[in-house]
Amino acid sequence: MRAGNAAISGWTVNWAWPGSQTITQLWGGVRSGSGSAVTVRNEAWNGSLAANATTTFGFLGGGSSAAPALTCTSP
């Protein structure tokens, strides 16, 4: 996640699995959503980003190998 030209106070990444994939481990974010819809929001320690700053989250998944299309937003 990149803040862009202005600081942000939180971030959200959304996607829908195209198949029967699941997240088995997640770090650097908090997951919500159900079924194929996934939302990952910042942790308390990595939500506030200065202009042009970056942070990352990661996950391990299981299921079929199709990749989802991600949408990133900030409040």
- Give the pTM: 0.83
Residue 2 lies in a domain: no
Domain encompassing residue 43: 12-73
Residue 69 lies in a domain: yes
pLDDT digits (tens, 9 = 90+) for 33-72: 877 889 999 999 999 999 999 999 999 988 876 677 777 7
User: Which residues have a Cβ under 8 Å from the Cβ of 63 and sit 6 or more positions away?
Assistant: 17, 19, 20, 21, 22
Per-residue confidence (pLDDT) for residue 59, from 0 to 100 = 92
Per-residue confidence (pLDDT) for residue 65, from 0 to 100 = 63
Residue 4 lies in a domain: no
Can you give the CATH number for the domain in which 60 is found?
Answer: 2.60.40.290
Please, which pLDDT band fits residue 3 given cuts at 50, 70 and 90?
Answer: confident
Residue 38 lies in a domain: yes
